[in-house]
Amino acid sequence: MSKTVELVPGTLPLLVLRLLSDGDAHGYAIARRIEDLSEAVLSVEQGSIYPALYRLERAGFVNSQKGVSDTGRPVKVYKITSSGRKHLEVEMSSWNAFVHAMSRVIRRRA
């Protein structure tokens, strides 16, 4: 397995929301997408996306309904809400600001 990187704490909800903004998905699918898109660099315990999902749901940024997986298993399918989208925008811009700031500082040192 190639080199992996620990996820920055508190960023998992952002990832989840971002993925859901592409389309509805169940928990497993989200976990798979994170692995695929990060080309398995981001090391996420698959289970840890559930606390993120539950918290988002409790905060009203996503909601869930019953559905089936591609393989026909009963799963909970999550959908981003409009307040979730707004929240995503805010989070994304602050993330971008964070990354921008971080890289400016880091590049200069390097």
Partner 1 sequence: MNWVSKMGFRVKAILRRDAVLRDIEQDIRQHITLEQERLRAEGLSGREARDLARNRFGNVTRLQQELQSISGVKPRAERHGGGSLIKDFKHSVRSLMKAPAYSAAVVVTLSIALGANMVMFSVAENVLLDDAGVRYPSEVVSIHNFIPQLGEGMRRQPVHGSFFDRFTRLEGIEYVAGFRTEFFNFSADDRPVRLEGLRTTPDLFRVAGVSPMIGVGFPEGLVGNEKVVVLSHKVWSSLFGADPAIVGRLVNFNGEPYEVVGVMPADFGFPRGIDVPSAFHFPDRPDLWIPHQVPLRGPSDLGVVARVVGEGGVALLQERLDALTEAVVEENSGWDGFATHRVLPIQEQAVGQIRPIIVGLFAATGLILLVAAANVSGVSFTRGYERSNQLAIRVALGASRWMVVRYLLFENAILAIGSVAGGLAVGWASAEILQSVAPEGIRGLDTLAISVKSFVFVALLGTLSAAIFGAFPSIKLSELASMGTLSTQRVSGQTTARMGDWVVGGEVAVTVVLVLVSGLLFRTVVGLLENEPGFDPVGVMVAEVTLPEASYPDAARAQSVQRARSRSETEGAVSQFYRLFLNDLREHPDVTHAGAVSPIPMGGTQEASAMWLEGMDPGASAPVIELTVASEGYFEAMGLDLLEGRTFDTSDRHDGLFTAVISESVANMWPNGAAVGSRLKLGGVPDGPREWRTVVGIVGDVRRGNLAEIGRPEVYFPLTQGGYTSLSTMHLVVRGRAGVSAEIAARATRDALRQVNASLPLEKVSGMENLIERQVSREKLAMQLLAAFSTTSLLLSVLSLYSVVSHSVNSRRREFAIRQAVGASPGSVLLGVMLRAGGSVFIGGLTGVLVVAFLSPVIGGFLYGVKPLEVGVVAVAVFTVFFVASVAAYVPAIRVTRIDPVECLRVE
Residue ranges in contact with partner 1 by CB under 8 A: 27-28, 31-32, 45-48, 50-51, 54-55, 58-60, 69, 71, 73-76
| In the complex, minimum distance from the CB of residue 92 to partner 1, in angstroms, rounded to a whole number | 22
CA distance 110 to 100: 15
Q: Least Å distance between CB 39 and partner 1?
A: 16
Q: Do residues 43 and 5 touch, judged by C-beta distance below 8 A? A: yes
CA 54/CA 16 separation, integer angstroms: 11
Cβ-based nearer residue to partner 1, 31 or 80:
31
Q: Tell me if 84 sits within 8 A of 62, measured CB to CB.
A: yes
Nearer to partner 1 among residue 75 and residue 99 (C-beta)? 75
